[in-house]
Structure 1
C-alpha cells in the first residue's frame, strides 16, 4: 500500500543524509523542508568516513588563485574554470560557516588553523577536524544542527525509489521504508545521495553508495555527465574488510613513502613521487601489483613515532588488523573512492529536469574535471549547498498530480552488477572488457528487478567510458593511451545509453553471447 503524506506535500525534499544533504536542508531554513535518508542521519554515508579535510586557501602563503591553479592542473583540462574559481573563492567563508555550526577544526598551539598538505596541492591548505576523522566531526556537528532546527522534518529509514514526473517536471518522490511505501508530492527535489563506489568490489565507500541518486535522475530523464571518471584512492588498507579502510593521503603528506616487499621505492622517479596526482599514483600502484609485487605504505620514518597522535583513527584500525604503522609498513592497494561524474548541473545545482537539483558527489558541477584534487569534495558540498538552497527557495511551487507507477520498484541490490563493473571500469580499461560489460549490463538494466537501478548506473558509465577513446585523468584506456587533442566533457541520457548499447550488441553478437 502506498500512503500519500498530505501534511508534507509541497515542501522541498532533500534526499540524502550526508554532509551535502544536511547542509542544503540547513541552508533552506526557515523554509519547511523534508530530509529523506535511508539510514540514520549521517550514517552509511561516505561523509562520515572522510579522513581528509576541506581544501581552502587560509595560509599566509596561499590564495584562491593558487588553489584554482592546482585544481585546474589536477582536472586535466576538463574543469569548468568559472565554476572552479567561484568555489575556491568561497571556500574560506565555508570553513567559517561550519565553525558557526559547531564544527571543531584542529588548531595549532598558537590558535591558528592547522593546515595539512595533500597530493598535487602546492601549499598547505587542508583543514582537518579530530585529526583524521574530519568527516565524523562534520557529521556530528551538522546532525546536531539539523535536529535542533524545527523547520527540518527528518524521515529516517526511508529510501527513495522513484522520482515522479508530471509534464517533464518533478512532481514527487516515491519512497519505501519499514512502515510501508509513501508518496511525497512536491515540485522541488534535491538529490544529495553520494557516489558509486558500492558498484566496485574494492571500495572505500559504504556498500550502499552504488549510485541510486544517479539512477533516480536518469530514470526521470535527466542528463548525466562525466560518468567515466572514477577516482581510485591509491592507498586503501589491503585486507578482507569491505568497505576498505582508507589510509589518508595526508599520511603521505607527512612524509610516508610507497615501497614493495623488497623495500624498493618504485614511484621515486614519478614527477611528484608519492604526492603526484591521485590518478598517477593509483596507476603506479596498480601496475606494480599487476607485476606480482605487494605494495606497502611506509610511515616508519615519517611520521614515525608520532603516527598515532597525528592519525588516531588510522592507527586504531591498523592495530585492529594487527599492524603498528610506527613499526611496520602498511599493505595497500587502490580502491574506488570518488566519482567525478554525476548529474549534469548548472551554477545553481539545477539539472536538466525542472524541479530537480543535485548537490555533493552525485552532482557534476565541473569542479573536479578528469581527476579530483584531494579534499576539494567536502569543500564543494558545503559551498554549493548554499547555492542550491537559494535556487530552491526562489523557485515557485505548483500543484501537481503525477501518474503513479503500477508497482514500487524493489529495493536495489548491486551484488550481481559489482563483478561486471569491477572488471571493466577499474584503474585501467580496454575496449573488449567495456563491450562485454555493456552486453552484460543491458539486460540487467531492463529487467525491472533489484539489479536494475545499479545496472543502469553501471551501463551508463560503461558506455561513457567506451565512447571516450583517450586516456585523461582517472580514465585510462590501455588501447587509447594518448590524450585527445581537444578536451571535452561527456553528457549522456539513459535513452542514449540504451540506444548505444542496443546498437553495439546488434553489431557485435559474439560479445553478447559470450557475456550471457
Structure 2
C-alpha cells in the first residue's frame, strides 16, 4: 500500500509534534510513531527546559554554560540560535497549556548541574509528560494532522526506490511496518522530518525507553547522510539502583536542590574531591566520579542524599520520585537513594544545519537523533527538550519557505517480500540484541581504551554479517528492524570513538587522557 501526504514526520515526541503543529497551519501532515504515541523519550523527561527568563540571567551566561559543558566542541552559532529562541519556545508551551510550576505569580526556576543560574522551568519532576500531553492534545485536535501509531519505520524511500530509478539521494518518505497487520506500507511526501530520538538502548543499562534504538540515525546513514560525534554518549550519574525496577531516573534537579553524593561504605561526600563544583559539575564528571567510586571500592552503587532538606521541601519538589521510591521501600526524606550511572542521552547523530536540513534533499531532522552543534562533547542539563522545540520549528519554517520548490513525489515501488519467509528462529534476534548491549556497556562505556574499542569493533563486524543474512531471509518484524538499527548505531559509535585520539567531554579514554588544543567534530561519511 502506498499513501501520499504533504509532509511526513517520523516520531511523536517534542520535536516531531512541534514541527507537525507548525506545518499543519497550511499543510497536511502525517505523524508516524513506533508503538504508542507517548512511547518516546519526551514523556520520560523528569527535569525541565532551560531558558533565560530571570532578570539576573543573560543569554551570554547560558551560552557560556553550554559551551563549557560541551568542552568546546559545540558550534557557537547553533548555541546562540537555540538559546536566543528559548523564551519564545516557553511562551508557545504556556499557550498550549503546559502547567509549569509558578511561584509568586511567575514561573518557578530551578537549577541543575552545569548551570550558573536558576533557569530551568519545570512541571514538578515530570516536565516531559506534561509537555507530551499538551502537544499531543493540540495535534489530535488539528484536522490537518494524521497520527498513526504502531508503525515501525524500516528505511527511507529515495530515488533508488522510484519506479524510474534515480541515484540523487532525494528522500520521498519512508517504508513502515504496520505492527498490527504485519504489512509494509510506503508513505510518500514532498518533505520528511526525522524526529526519532536517540540510541540509548544500544547499552545494557539506560534510562531511555525500550524503543530508543537509533532508528532515524541508522535510516539516514543507510540513505547516505553524514553522522557526527556518535562517540559522545551521555551517561546520567544517578539512575536508581534496584534489581526489580529498571531505568528509573533520579533527576539532576535533586542535586540542584542540595542533594549530595556519598560513598555508602565510608559515608564520605566525595564530589568535592573530583571537582570544585561538587554535585553541580556537568554530568560527564559526576558520572565518572560515581563510576570510579563504585569500581575502586567494589560497590554495587553510591548514595544520593537529600534527607537533610525538610520533608515538605522534598515532597513539594519531587512528588513523583518520592511516591515511586516509597513503593520500593525507600523514603528519600529520611534516607539516601541508591544510584548508579546509566546511559542517558545521545549527543551525536545526523548532521543538520540551522534550518534542520540534513545532507539529503527532502530530509530534515530534529531532536536527539541529530547533531546540531548545540551539545558538543556533553549535553548541558535541560537543553535537550529546548533543542526539540527550536529545531522542530526550524524544520517546519524551512519546509514552508521552500514549499514551491519541492517537487511532487514520483511513482514509488511497493515493498518486495517475494523472496523472504516468516522467521523460524526468533532466538537469534534476542541473542544478538543482548550481546550488542552487554558488549557496548563493557567495552564502550564511561571509561574506554583502544584495546576494548577494537574488541568491540571485531564483534560488531561478526554480528553484522549474521544480522544482514537474517534480514535478507525473513519478513521484517519490529524486533528485527530494531536489532538492525541497534547494530548500525553501535558500529557508528565504535568507529567514531576509535577516530578520536583525545579525552574530551563524554569520550574519556585511558590511552589518550589529554585534550587536544583544537576541538574537532568526528564526522563519518557513508
TM-score, normalised relative to structure 2: 0.89
8 Å CA contact 1:206–1:243 kept in 2: the answer is: no
8 Å CA contact 1:199–1:207 kept in 2: the answer is: no
Find 1:427's aligned residue among 446, 449, 460: 446
Does residue 472 (structure 1) correspond to residue 520 (structure 2)? The answer is no
Q: CA 1:475 to 1:242, structure 2 compared with 1: closer, same or farther past 3 Å? A: farther
8 Å CA contact 1:205–1:243 kept in 2: the answer is: no
Question: For residue 330 of structure 2, what is the aligned residue in structure 1?
Answer: 323
Q: 2 CA distance for matches of 1:337 and 1:367?
A: 17
Find 2:34's aligned residue among 30, 35, 38: 38
8 Å CA contact 1:207–1:243 kept in 2: the answer is: no
User: How is 1:434-449 mapped onto 2 (pairs within 5 angstroms)?
Assistant: 434-446=453-465, 447-448=467-468, 449=471
SS of 1:437's partner is helix
Find 1:394's aligned residue among 392, 401, 425: 401
1:404, distance to aligned residue in structure 2 (A) = 5.3
Q: 2 CA distance for matches of 1:334 and 1:241?
A: 17
1:97-140 CA distances to partner (integer Å, 9 max, x unpaired)? Answer: 111111111100x21110001011110000001x0010010011
SS of 2:176's partner is strand
8 Å CA contact 1:56–1:91 kept in 2: the answer is: yes
8 Å CA contact 2:239–2:247 kept in 1: the answer is: yes
Find 1:4's aligned residue among 2, 8, 19: 2
8 Å CA contact 2:235–2:343 kept in 1: the answer is: yes
Q: 2 CA distance for matches of 1:29 and 1:132?
A: 31
1:293-315 CA distances to partner (integer Å, 9 max, x unpaired)? Answer: 34100111035542122101111
Question: For residue 162 of structure 1, what is the aligned residue in structure 2?
Answer: 155
Q: 2 CA distance for matches of 1:134 and 1:162?
A: 32
1:403, distance to aligned residue in structure 2 (A) = 4.8
Find 2:286's aligned residue among 272, 275, 281: 281
8 Å CA contact 2:186–2:414 kept in 1: the answer is: no
SS of 2:106's partner is coil
TM-score, normalised relative to structure 1: 0.91
Question: For residue 373 of structure 2, what is the aligned residue in structure 1?
Answer: 366
Question: For residue 505 of structure 1, what is the aligned residue in structure 2?
Answer: none
Q: CA 1:404 to 1:422, structure 2 compared with 1: closer, same or farther past 3 Å? A: farther
SS of 1:14's partner is strand
1:453-490 CA distances to partner (integer Å, 9 max, x unpaired)? Answer: 21111001100001101100011101111111211011
Question: For residue 504 of structure 1, what is the aligned residue in structure 2?
Answer: none
SS of 2:146's partner is strand
Question: For residue 90 of structure 1, what is the aligned residue in structure 2?
Answer: 85
Question: For residue 163 of structure 2, what is the aligned residue in structure 1?
Answer: none
Question: For residue 512 of structure 1, what is the aligned residue in structure 2?
Answer: none
Question: For residue 67 of structure 1, what is the aligned residue in structure 2?
Answer: 62
1:345-368 CA distances to partner (integer Å, 9 max, x unpaired)? Answer: 011111111111110111110000
Q: 2 CA distance for matches of 1:246 and 1:49?
A: 9
Q: 2 CA distance for matches of 1:171 and 1:137?
A: 33
8 Å CA contact 2:195–2:216 kept in 1: the answer is: yes
Q: 1 CA distance for matches of 2:487 and 2:14?
A: 26
8 Å CA contact 1:256–1:303 kept in 2: the answer is: no
Question: For residue 111 of structure 1, what is the aligned residue in structure 2?
Answer: 105
SS of 1:186's partner is strand
Question: For residue 176 of structure 1, what is the aligned residue in structure 2?
Answer: 177
SS of 2:344's partner is strand
1:17, distance to aligned residue in structure 2 (A) = 1.0
1:441, distance to aligned residue in structure 2 (A) = 0.9
- Give unpaired runs (5+ residues) of structure 2: 160-167, 472-479
8 Å CA contact 1:204–1:242 kept in 2: the answer is: no
Higher mean alpha-carbon deviation, 20-29 vs 440-449, is at 440-449
Q: 1 CA distance for matches of 2:45 and 2:13?
A: 11
Find 1:272's aligned residue among 271, 277, 284: 277
8 Å CA contact 2:9–2:32 kept in 1: the answer is: yes
1:377, distance to aligned residue in structure 2 (A) = 0.5
RMSD: 1.7
1:392, distance to aligned residue in structure 2 (A) = 1.8
Question: For residue 259 of structure 2, what is the aligned residue in structure 1?
Answer: 256
Q: Give the ranges of 4+ consecutive aligned residues of structure 1 lying more than 6 Å apart after TM superposition.
A: 408-413
8 Å CA contact 2:8–2:188 kept in 1: the answer is: no
1:343, distance to aligned residue in structure 2 (A) = 0.3
Q: 2 CA distance for matches of 1:21 and 1:141?
A: 13
Question: For residue 134 of structure 1, what is the aligned residue in structure 2?
Answer: 127
Q: 1 CA distance for matches of 2:220 and 2:461?
A: 18
1:242, distance to aligned residue in structure 2 (A) = 6.0
1:405, distance to aligned residue in structure 2 (A) = 5.6
8 Å CA contact 1:203–1:335 kept in 2: the answer is: yes
1:318-370 CA distances to partner (integer Å, 9 max, x unpaired)? Answer: 11221000111100010100111010001111111111111011111000000
Q: 2 CA distance for matches of 1:385 and 1:208?
A: 20
Question: For residue 344 of structure 1, what is the aligned residue in structure 2?
Answer: 351
1:70-115 CA distances to partner (integer Å, 9 max, x unpaired)? Answer: 111111010110110011011011100111111111100x211100
SS of 2:272's partner is coil
Q: 1 CA distance for matches of 2:348 and 2:415?
A: 29
8 Å CA contact 1:171–1:401 kept in 2: the answer is: no
Higher mean alpha-carbon deviation, 347-356 vs 447-456, is at 447-456
Q: What count of residue pairs does the alignment treat as equivalent?
A: 486
